[in-house]
Amino acid sequence: MGNDSASMLSGITVCIAEDRASCEPALRILVASLTRRSPGIRALLFCPNATPSFAKWISDFPHCSLNPCALDGVWTKYDIKPLALLTALRTGADDVLWIDSDVLIARDFRPVFAELSVETLAVTEEALSGGRADPDGMRARMWGMPVGRSLPFTANTGVIRVTTAHIELLEAWHDLLQSPEYRAAQAAPWYERESHLAGDQEVLTALLSSSRFSDIPIRFLRRGPDIVQFFGTSGYTVAERIGHLRTGLPYFIHSQGFRPWWPSDEPVVGWSARFRALYNDMSPYTTLARGYASSLDCDRWLSSQSKHGRALAALTPDNAPLTGLPLALISDTVRIAKTVSGRWKNRLGARQP
Ligand SMILES: [Mn+2]
């Protein structure tokens, strides 16, 4: 590789922040996969509760700085993102990539971001979930902001690329996450929160579609070619798997919601819960995490958690797009059938006098 392309690729700094010691296995998978796929990339890790064992392990990665400085503000779960990004930008980085601790790197992503202009922000497409759509700038309207554009879907903040051009946006995002309205909503259970107050990403979605920030160009990292948003039983669709078999894995695998490194002892009751558990057991995150077993203190969670999971895993090679493919076929068929029947019901309903 020539010097020019090496310097072009070395501009981005990864920013990770995680205060739960229980997420240490995920942090190890993230750091190990990051250094394998994007060797030499700089990473700042804000981990105030890092265990001595993690601190010792990470000292073998000279490009990763653990707790490079303090985050000057209150740490409230995922709401730390704008503060961590602002801190990284203010301490010398000019092109920063936030990556959630529940993400695994499957491919070198540097070429994607090297192509973006300084003004371009990157966020990810939300998973196939109930909160995926943001029709006509719904969240901006709910915040009382004038709408400047309508986004094709809610912005998911598992991976975000910002530069010094986005400081005003990050400050506005940080301020709203500290607002009494948002903090009161966060104190309530998630199912009681209104759509614009559900979490940090709903607030960012509102800001990006508001007229104040609607001139910021956005590069959405798309489900399929760029990222697997592994969420529920539509977390890894047949169409995405076929794409990955043909052109290779995406850059990011986001284990959204499901935490395989937290094995659960809760009994699984009922058919749909059993199906969901089996689908999770075949997660592409876990399949790929097996390649980093030596980075973990305890790797028991990397094997299938159920008898049926082990039987199904034995039928397919240890390959992320193929593992669990039969389950994805069933799940996609049911989801598509439900969508089609819902549309027909609506049409028939509209024809009633
Ligand atoms: Mn996440």
Task: Compute the distance from residue 128 Cα to the ligand 1 centre, in Å.
Answer: 14
Task: Compute the distance from residue 329 Cα to the ligand 1 centre, in Å.
Answer: 25
Task: Compute the distance from residue 204 Cα to the ligand 1 centre, in Å.
Answer: 15
Domain boundaries, the chain: 3-221, 227-341
Task: Compute the distance from residue 346 Cα to the ligand 1 centre, in Å.
Answer: 34
Cα 107–243–252 angle (5° rounding)?
30
User: Tokens at residue 175, please?
Assistant: 């301020």
Cα-trace Rg, the chain = 21
Task: Compute the distance from residue 78 Cα to the ligand 1 centre, in Å.
Answer: 9
Task: Compute the distance from residue 96 Cα to the ligand 1 centre, in Å.
Answer: 17
Task: Compute the distance from residue 242 Cα to the ligand 1 centre, in Å.
Answer: 24
Task: Compute the distance from residue 101 Cα to the ligand 1 centre, in Å.
Answer: 7
Task: Compute the distance from residue 102 Cα to the ligand 1 centre, in Å.
Answer: 5
Compute CA distances 54 → 43, 48, 88, 295, whole Å: 15, 12, 21, 10
User: Tokens at residue 36, please?
Assistant: 């394998």
From first to last of the 353 residues of the chain, give the pLDDT tens digit.
334 444 343 489 999 999 999 999 999 999 999 999 999 999 999 999 999 999 999 999 999 999 988 898 888 888 999 999 999 999 889 999 999 999 999 999 999 999 999 999 999 999 998 889 999 999 999 999 999 999 999 999 999 999 999 999 999 999 999 999 999 999 999 999 999 999 999 999 999 999 999 999 999 999 999 999 999 999 999 999 999 999 999 999 999 989 999 977 788 889 999 999 999 999 999 999 999 999 999 999 998 878 888 887 777 777 999 999 999 999 999 999 988 888 888 888 777 65
CATH superfamily, region 3-221 = Spore Coat Polysaccharide Biosynthesis Protein SpsA; Chain A (3.90.550.10)
The CA distance from 56 to 286, in Å, is 24
Task: Compute the distance from residue 1 Cα to the ligand 1 centre, in Å.
Answer: 33
Task: Compute the distance from residue 309 Cα to the ligand 1 centre, in Å.
Answer: 24
Closest CA to 122 of 63, 162, 176, 68: 162
